[in-house]
Amino acid sequence: MNHDAQASPADTAPEMSWFAWGDPDKATELDPGLRDLIARVLRTDPRAMPPVPEERVELPASRLDERLRAEFAGIVGTEHVRTDDPTRLRHSGGKSTPDLLARRAGEAVPAPDAVLFPADHDQVERLLALCSDEGVAVVPFGGGTSVVGGLTPLDGGLAAVVTMDLRRLNRLISLDRTSLTAVLEAGVRTPHAEAMLAEHGLTLGHMPQSYEYATIGGYAATRSSGQASAGYGRFEDMVVGMKAATPRGTLEAGGHPASAAGPDLRGLLVGSEGTLGVITEVAVRVRPRPEKVVDEAWSFPDHATGVDALRTLAQSDVRPTMARLSDETETFVNAALGGREAVPGCQAVLGFEGTEEEVEARARTVRATMEAVGGTLVGPDPVAHWRENRFNAPYLRDTLLSAGILAETLETAASWSDLLPLYRAVVAALTEALDDDESGVLVQCHVSHTYATGASLYFTVATGAGDDPAGRWGRAKRAASDAIVANGGTITHHHAVGTDHRPWMTRELGPLGAEVLRAAKAALDPRGVLNPGKLLPDA
């Protein structure tokens, strides 16, 4: 095997803002056109809703005593055990709107008692054994991008809680060019992974909206799906093998191209969100970097026609690498944000990646399919605009939040048969919950990932924050989640469970399914120190 361990180039992504998504230098002002649109559609005037200054944020005092600090330091080194408030604040949760509202208000923000920065699998495993012995809860932390409360430092009734930041696990451990697999450490962020793979002409092809910050381990732990999943697959489809540290030792899963040797333990680790172990290494399938990318936007007279077109593509043997379809509202808003004239109907963006000749042939075949099902070719421009802004929506959310506008997303997936009724039910539930005396509401949606058997729906909701923004959003989220599970949808297609979707998980897994997962957890984490309060409802 041509496995070459390789030194890692520096990972230079900036630290994320403590109260907002991403790079603080990328924060933007509210565009006047958008201000007008909001006033008109939401019947509410933007108002300043700034975060409190960082020094006003109230964090609980660290409960880490000197003995335990010395034990941690003995494993990872003194400088890798942090209890200062800036570090604890930046590990006090993820990036959901409820997370951000709490931190921006600055009142009683939960915080880990310490943040640990292990260097490798062995240190992670020793830390977990120690935490289990001492009864200290552990929250694994990759890119910090959770939007479902997956990073909230809950102590689960234990004496303390530490967050384990995996950024130092950032190496490409090995690469097998013949078999097109790479072993990456869990803390590698996507741009860093792509840079290391690009040196060998390879790519992972995983491009979720969290791309700039999210990590390889986080993708595996949350069953992530990237924007080009039609061509590259979901992250779980890329996972050849995994290594996790648990309080009981090392658990490895998969590793062969295929096997019939009993149940697939990858199915247990993928999506376990740090409750069964800390994923430390992932062997992923990689691909040659595409020689050519062809982009095309298509329009459809209405949403149902567009959904049928995407279904036809997903069920055919010749498919695009990326396919997304906006509903009428999102098509209108996208045109307005892009400074383009609004057109009636719905717009889809398609992308094709591959070798020169193969991409052209594929695009030709798809073009014929799209025309046959009622599509009209628009051209590449809307896709170019989408590509430029594909990672920026979270920044816009922060800008809106500072202007007193809640803008949040939620998502699901269902069979093609259930998709449109589910779509209508969720739009109705969100509208019912949020269109009131305080504000109007805008609900837009796109089909973001397609499969032969169904697709995902990704909703964006904007409404005035009102007097109780957290309560307002909480009511809407519950109404939407109830509508999702009542109409054949999964509670989450790619955002994962965390704390926010936990109340719906017994229904999702069935009571016996939940019990099996609890039994697996008890075998790996007998003291229950791994990410308590996440994913699995208590019995």
Q: Which residues are part of the catalytic machinery?
A: 458
What's the closest the beta carbon of residue 113 comes to a copy of itself, in angstroms? 27
Per CB under 8 A, which region of 42-50, 85-93, 104-112, 487-495 contacts a copy of itself?
Answer: 487-495
Q: Examine residue 172 and tell whether it contacts a copy of itself (CB under 8 A).
A: no
By CB under 8 A, the residues from 338 to 367 that bind a copy of itself are 354-355, 358, 361-362, 365
What angle, rounded to 10 degrees, do the helices at 393-402 and 97-105 form? 40
Name residue 184's beta-bridge partners: 172, 282
Write the interaction track for a copy of itself spanning residues 455-474; mark x where CB under 8 A is met and - where it is not.
Answer: xx------------------
Write the interaction track for a copy of itself spanning residues 244-283; mark x where CB under 8 A is met and - where it is not.
Answer: --x-xxxxxx--xxxxxxxxxxxxxxxxxx--x-------
Q: Examine residue 449 and tell whether it contacts a copy of itself (CB under 8 A).
A: yes
| Calpha distance 62→91 (Å, rounded) | 13
Asked if residues 108 and 56 have their Cβ atoms less than 8 Å apart, the reply is no
Burial of 55 (0-12, 13-18, 19+ CB in 10 A): exposed
> Contact with a copy of itself (CB under 8 A): which of 4, 301, 453, 475?
453
How is 252-316 classified by DSSP, letter by letter? EEE-SSS--SSS-THHHHTT-TTSS-EEEEEEEE-EEPPSEEEEEEEEESSHHHHHHHHHHHHTS
Q: Examine residue 486 and tell whether it contacts a copy of itself (CB under 8 A).
A: no
Count residues contacting a copy of itself (CB under 8 A)?
Answer: 96
Q: Is 81 helix (H, G, I), strand (E, B) or coil?
A: strand
Q: Examine residue 539 and tell whether it contacts a copy of itself (CB under 8 A).
A: no
522 CA to centre of own chain: 27
Q: Examine residue 209 and tell whether it contacts a copy of itself (CB under 8 A).
A: no
What's the closest the beta carbon of residue 112 comes to a copy of itself, in angstroms? 23
> Contact with a copy of itself (CB under 8 A): which of 29, 317, 341, 437?
317
Q: What is the pairing mode between strands 136-141 and 322-326?
A: unpaired
What's the closest the beta carbon of residue 415 comes to a copy of itself, in angstroms? 4
Q: Examine residue 536 and tell whether it contacts a copy of itself (CB under 8 A).
A: yes
Cα-only R_g, the chain: 23
By CB under 8 A, the residues from 173 to 192 that bind a copy of itself are 176, 178-181
Asked if residues 266 and 334 have their Cβ atoms less than 8 Å apart, the reply is no
Per CB under 8 A, which region of 138-146, 216-224, 338-346, 372-380 contacts a copy of itself?
Answer: 216-224
Q: Examine residue 121 and tell whether it contacts a copy of itself (CB under 8 A).
A: no
By CB under 8 A, the residues from 140 to 169 that bind a copy of itself are none
| Calpha distance 193→189 (Å, rounded) | 6
Buried b (16+ CB within 10 A) or exposed e, 169-199: bbbbbbbbbeeebbbbbbbbbbebbbbbbee
Write the interaction track for a copy of itself spanning residues 394-413; mark x where CB under 8 A is met and - where it is not.
Answer: -------------------x
